[in-house]
Structure 1
Amino acid sequence: MRQPRGDSRGILDPARLKRRVRFRRHLPAVPLRRWVEHYWLIDWDLNEPFEQRIVPHPAVNVVVQRDGDGPERAEVAGVGQQLFSITLSGAGRITGAQFRPGGFHPFWRRPIAELTGRRQPLTGVMPEGAICAGTDTERCRALDVLLTGWAPRPDPVNDEVMSLVETIRTDRNVRRVDEFAREHDVSVRRLQRLFLTHVGVGPKWVIRRYRLHEAIERAAGEPPDWAGLAAELGYSDQAHLVRDFTATTGVSPAAYAHSRR
């Protein structure tokens, strides 16, 4: 039976996150699993503000947040190309759905690139009742109702794109767009168009982002051979990896590794 993803890829210093807030993942209703990676729930009650930084996945999220006893606010968060930072304070809850890369297109039915780098409020589609209230099961069920109400329909082209992205995520040998396109018998131009329409970013960006996630995970363990890791992940040299890592996370690989240890 499929389980929610258990890794912490993209979350900077996940141990600190779990010390400060309650964070967990759950699977959506079965009919939604072809498009939705998982639901993620966060609850907090803090004595002082807490900042969390995230290197986003090439994925769209639907996020519902309630601070204290205030009203819920819901939004669609497109693929973030920059480091994302959120500061939590007081008490509150977030109930979110992370879609598989490409998985939001059947719900949105327009080019996903129009959402890239944007957070758009959700209005007019929210179900009756609160989404951030109740037990985990009740919160997940409320998301099931919300997403099912958008009436997504299977699309063979969209399935193809999701499969291509999954190959990039799992196969570290995918390093160049032209080679990847040739291997899958598609032109680079069509591949680019498919990714922008269904994922929201181009295939080169997806390749680089997944390789950077791998570098972040490796930096958190035993100190890697940075030159060897750079070659393994398809960077031209160690300096290229260091520049990309630092530009994306705000700290050098060595500094991040030291802070985690």
Structure 2
Amino acid sequence: MEAPRHDTRGIVDPSGLLDHVRFRRHEPAGPLRRYVEWYWLIDWDLPAPYASHVVPHPAVNLTFQWDEDEGPPYAEVTGVALGLYTRKLTGRGRVCGAKFRPGGFRPYAPDDPVSRWTGRALPAREVFPQITGDTARSVVTAADDRDRVAALDAFLLSLPCAPDPQADLAIDLVRRIRTDRTVRRVGDLAHEQGLSMRALQRLFAAWVGVSPKWVVLRYRIHEALEQAGTRDAIDWAALAADLGYADQAHLVRDFTATVGVPPTAYAAEVRAGRAGP
């Protein structure tokens, strides 16, 4: 299994986020890595409110959160977000999250298709009745990263989780879409796997939560967002072709609909230090 990546794909204006919060990623315990991609920890102490924006990955997250000025720690399950995810941060707080691999959540919640959680953020007890206020408190009040990771490991290792060949297949297919730019047509991917289009769509609905076409488009936007934020000069027509778009106009349309501003405007705002929708 892949170790946590260090890129910032999906984060709108990553340098702005890192100016306002402490952000880290850590590996989970070995037995969890089949289905849990990484843990992510964020702490903040802000003199003024700050809104973070993320174009989410096609993954489910379990988070333990504490907004210190607003109430006690709590836990939340967040399904795949279909649009831009915005979180307003104020005062002091922290989040300790477990990002499941795309396709890797259902082994921990086998009774429901992952599409049930798509576009939703809900109290984690609705999915995992084992979670209590003490569970959330034990994670977010731990003294340092090592103790927080240990608390996340302890909770997830306590959950029933059986090997799931369908989850493994979904994980492999999503990883291929993410890493292989030659995967542009869902029909070709289904044919290579010996699956019908309908079977592939059912697999993704049940184990990923969104369609394979949606995943292809989301990773295209991640790449365009990364390029817009890190390169000084971009040939947008060439990038559109490289990402599999019919033309530049289709890339601009999808980027604007997802991020909230056209890619050229976003790139200019990043260079000026004020990116955001």
The interval holding the TM-score normalised by the smaller chain is over 0.9
Distance 1:125 1:3 in 2: 28
For residue 186 of structure 1, give the secondary structure of its aligned residue in structure 2: coil
Equivalence for 2:73: 72
Contact 1:125 1:146 in 2 (8 A): no
Counterpart of 1:95, as a letter, is C
Residue ranges of structure 1 left out of the alignment (5+ in a row):
none
Equivalence for 1:119: 121
Counterpart of 1:63, as a letter, is T
1:154 to 134, 150, 163: 163
Distance 1:10 1:165 in 2: 16
Counterpart of 1:83, as a letter, is L
How many aligned residue pairs are there? 261
Distance 2:119 2:253 in 1: 22
Contact 1:72 1:130 in 2 (8 A): no
Pairing 1:89-238 to 2, within 5 Å after superposition: 89-109=90-110, 110-123=112-125, 124-126=129-131, 128=135, 130-133=138-141, 134-220=143-229, 221-238=231-248
Pairing 1:2-21 to 2, within 5 Å after superposition: 3-21=3-21
Distance 1:222 1:200 in 2: 35
Equivalence for 1:87: 88
Alpha-carbon shift at residue 223 of structure 1 (Å): 2.1
Distance 1:113 1:3 in 2: 26
Per-residue deviation, residues 206-258 of structure 1 (Å, max 9, x unmatched): 00001110111111113211111111111111001001000100011001111
Alpha-carbon shift at residue 22 of structure 1 (Å): 0.5
> For structure 1, which segment, 171-180 or 215-224, has the greater mean C-alpha deviation from structure 2 after superposition?
215-224
Distance 2:166 2:62 in 1: 23
Distance 2:12 2:94 in 1: 20
Counterpart of 1:135, as a letter, is D
Counterpart of 1:205, as a letter, is W
Per-residue deviation, residues 20-51 of structure 1 (Å, max 9, x unmatched): 11110000011000111110000011000000
Give the TM-score normalised by structure 1.
0.97
Counterpart of 2:63, as a letter, is V
Counterpart of 1:125, as a letter, is Q
Alpha-carbon shift at residue 2 of structure 1 (Å): 5.7
Per-residue deviation, residues 137-181 of structure 1 (Å, max 9, x unmatched): 111111112212221111112111110111001001111111111
For residue 6 of structure 1, give the secondary structure of its aligned residue in structure 2: coil
Contact 2:166 2:207 in 1 (8 A): no
Equivalence for 2:25: 25
Equivalence for 2:252: 242
Contact 2:37 2:99 in 1 (8 A): yes
Counterpart of 1:106, as a letter, is P
Distance 1:152 1:6 in 2: 27
After the TM superposition, which parts of structure 1 deviate over 3 Å for at least 4 consecutive aligned residues?
Answer: none
Distance 1:187 1:213 in 2: 27
Counterpart of 2:233, as a letter, is P
